């Protein structure tokens, strides 16, 4: 498409001196000047650590024909598309370029549960016969189960290019995670989102957001601006922030579907934990339904029901969707049973890295142990430091043995991070090396106990250092748990 056509479609005006560049064909979009090719539109945004405006000249030299930036920025040699919110303007222009996209899009936001929920939606759609994919922390999961890794909410160019690629492969349904960072940076703009969900809100990312109100406001951009007019908002009703989330959606004129024990659309009447799953009693439109969910934990039930509600909101049939819940597969790194020791002790891996998520994981596993619950976890460096003692306190209150270890130290002193966690769990054991900590927990476990390794979940590496000095050491909690379990078995044979 021509530059002037893309701008007009996004409601943007080109400057009067755009000249012949206005009629040039756009070949692509880039927010990294190193990825600019002739005919590109370059987005020059001021970030927390890098200012894209500093790279306008190199982008023009590489062939950029237009620069999307704040008013008053110099863009010699290219057309300046000036906007008060350049990220939004860039996204809306890019959305006109990256076509086609799948016909049905849904998004999930919240502190915890996003990854599991979008993957469950993909599975429910697949079981119903749809060509479906998910985009989020685990990457892009396609209909044939192949996965490419990425950010929770990738940059707008990657996001839109992924959607176009999926559409060209025949994918019609996509569920994606909408993080607070991604929403505040307009990384999910310009596409028709048919329905979206809010799972919950608890402390996280306060190194980025000013406070919880700012964090909530970022999440609510999903209901307030991103979901298409006339779309649906699914709200987990049993969260303290749910009433306010529903008010935002209603204020926008969206169809609000509440889910949970307090839900009006899909009500959770009862839940009975089992050895490897749970039996759910549900109510929809006054009718009772029973579902055997093959996943453990109250929060896994919550994720599954939010997923089901989004499927129903986009045309799914009630009987088929509820039947499909019984066929859901575990999500990588989310209460994933990694090993069963020779003495029968199960070891689980979970991504929980906030106080609320840690408490939920502990609560999910407690009914499944007759002995002690042993937990291994740490806290990430260069992230919200205020949550560290809270995580320690939650672990100490819910587990019988707590081992504090390293997570992703990044640019901080690992020992200092551990001290902050231990301040909330003074009786905990400290073992800095994560492999040693996992091995110690497994060696400690006796028949009837249960081990939880929390914090990293699906991650395949441990990040040490920051910036140019950062290193990613190969580390997969599930693999390490299995290796340690095997070595303990050999030692005890």
Distance, CA of 493 to CA of 489 (rounded, Å): 6
Q: Is 180 annotated as a binding residue?
A: no
* Integer CA distances (angstroms), 312 to 125, 239, 265, 270, in order: 10, 21, 10, 21
Tokens encoding 48: 């927390």
Tokens encoding 51: 């200012």
Give the start-end residues of each E strand in 304-449: 336-340, 346-350, 373-377, 401-404, 429-430
Distance, CA of 243 to CA of 198 (rounded, Å): 11
Distance, CA of 380 to CA of 385 (rounded, Å): 8
Distance, CA of 195 to CA of 104 (rounded, Å): 9
Nearest partner of 421 among 381, 369, 378, 380, judged by Cα:
378
Strands 28-30 and 40-43: parallel
Q: Is 19 annotated as a binding residue?
A: no
Q: Is 38 annotated as a binding residue?
A: no
Q: Is 152 annotated as a binding residue?
A: yes
Q: Is 153 annotated as a binding residue?
A: yes
Q: Is 112 annotated as a binding residue?
A: yes
Q: Is 113 annotated as a binding residue?
A: yes
Q: By the 8 A CB rule, do 449 and 372 touch?
A: yes
CB atoms within 10 A of CB 168: 10
Q: Is 51 annotated as a binding residue?
A: no
Q: Is 434 annotated as a binding residue?
A: no
* Burial class, 110, CB count within 10 angstroms (exposed 0-12 / middle 13-18 / buried 19+): buried
For residue 226, give the DSSP letter. Answer: I
Q: Is 333 annotated as a binding residue?
A: no
Helix (H) or strand (E) holding 361: helix 355-365
Q: What is the DSSP string of 190-209?
A: SS-EEEEEE----S--TTTS
Q: By the 8 A CB rule, do 406 and 414 touch?
A: yes
- For residues 70-104, one letter each, b for 16 or more C-beta atoms within 10 angstroms of the residue's C-beta and e for the rest, the string is eeebebeebbbbbbeebbbbbbbbbbbbbeebbeb
Q: Is 111 annotated as a binding residue?
A: yes
Q: Is 131 annotated as a binding residue?
A: no
Nearest partner of 230 among 198, 252, 208, judged by Cα:
252
CA angle, 108 as apex, 119 and 275 as ends, to 5°? Answer: 45
Distance, CA of 74 to CA of 64 (rounded, Å): 14
Q: Is 114 annotated as a binding residue?
A: yes
CB atoms within 10 A of CB 252: 17
- For residues 320-354, one letter each, b for 16 or more C-beta atoms within 10 angstroms of the residue's C-beta and e for the rest, the string is ebbebbeebeebbbbbbebbebeeebbbbbbbbbb
Sign of CA dihedral 458, 460, 464, 470: negative
Task: Name the β-bridge partners of 134.
Answer: 141, 175
From the annotation, which residues make up the binding site?
110-116, 152-153, 179, 185, 187, 383, 407-410, 455, 459
From the annotation, which residues make up the binding site for ATP?
110-116
From the annotation, which residues make up the binding site for meso-2,6-diaminopimelate?
383, 407-410, 455, 459
């Amino acid at each position: 498409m021509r530059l002037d056509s893309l701008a007009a479609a996004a409601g943007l005006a080109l400057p009067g001196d755009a000249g012949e560049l206005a009629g040039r064909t756009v070949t692509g979009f880039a927010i990294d000047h190193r990825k600019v090719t002739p005919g590109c539109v370059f987005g020059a945004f001021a970030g927390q650590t890098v200012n894209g405006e500093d790279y306008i000249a190199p982008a023009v030299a590489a062939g950029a024909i237009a620069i999307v930036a704040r008013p008053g920025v110099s863009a010699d040699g290219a057309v300046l598309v000036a906007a008060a919110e350049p990220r939004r303007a860039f996204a809306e222009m890019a959305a006109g370029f990256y076509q086609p996209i799948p016909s049905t899009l849904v998004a999930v936001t919240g502190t915890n549960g996003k990854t599991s929920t979008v993957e469950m939606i993909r599975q429910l759609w697949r079981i119903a016969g749809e060509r479906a994919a998910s985009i989020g922390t685990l990457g892009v999961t396609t209909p044939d189960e192949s996965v490419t890794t990425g950010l929770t909410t990738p940059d707008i160019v990657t996001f839109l290019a992924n959607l176009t690629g999926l559409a060209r492969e025949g994918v019609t349904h996509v569920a994606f995670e909408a993080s607070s960072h991604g929403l505040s940076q307009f990384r999910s703009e310009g596409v028709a989102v048919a329905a979206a969900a809010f799972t919950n809100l608890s402390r996280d990312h306060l190194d980025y957001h000013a406070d919880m109100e700012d964090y909530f406001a970022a999440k609510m951009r999903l209901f307030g601006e991103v979901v298409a007019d006339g779309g649906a908002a699914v709200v987990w009703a049993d969260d303290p922030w749910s009433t306010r989330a529903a008010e935002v959606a209603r204020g926008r004129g969206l169809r609000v579907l509440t889910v949970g024990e307090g839900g009006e659309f899909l009500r959770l009447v009862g839940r009975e934990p089992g050895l490897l799953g749970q039996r759910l009693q549900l109510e929809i439109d006054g009718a009772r339904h029973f579902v055997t969910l093959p996943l453990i934990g109250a929060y896994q039930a919550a994720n599954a029901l939010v997923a089901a509600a989004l499927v129903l909101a986009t045309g799914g049939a009630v009987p088929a969707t509820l039947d499909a819940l019984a066929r859901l597969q575990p999500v990588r790194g989310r209460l994933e049973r990694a090993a069963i020791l020779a003495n029968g002790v199960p070891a689980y891996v979970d991504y929980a890295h906030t106080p609320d998520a840690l408490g939920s994981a502990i609560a999910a596993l407690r009914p499944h142990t007759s002995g002690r619950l042993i937990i291994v976890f740490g806290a990430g460096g260069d992230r919200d430091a205020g949550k560290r003692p809270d995580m320690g306190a939650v672990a100490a209150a819910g587990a019988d043995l707590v081992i504090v270890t390293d997570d992703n130290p990044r640019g901080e002193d690992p020992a200092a991070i551990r001290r902050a966690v231990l301040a909330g769990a003074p009786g905990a054991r400290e073992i800095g090396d994560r492999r040693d900590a996992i091995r110690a927990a497994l060696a400690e476990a006796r028949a009837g106990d249960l081990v939880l390794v929390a914090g990293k979940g699906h991650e395949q590496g441990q990040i040490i250092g920051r910036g140019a000095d950062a290193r990613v050491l190969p580390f997969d909690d599930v693999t390490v748990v299995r290796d340690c379990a095997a070595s303990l078995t050999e030692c005890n044979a």
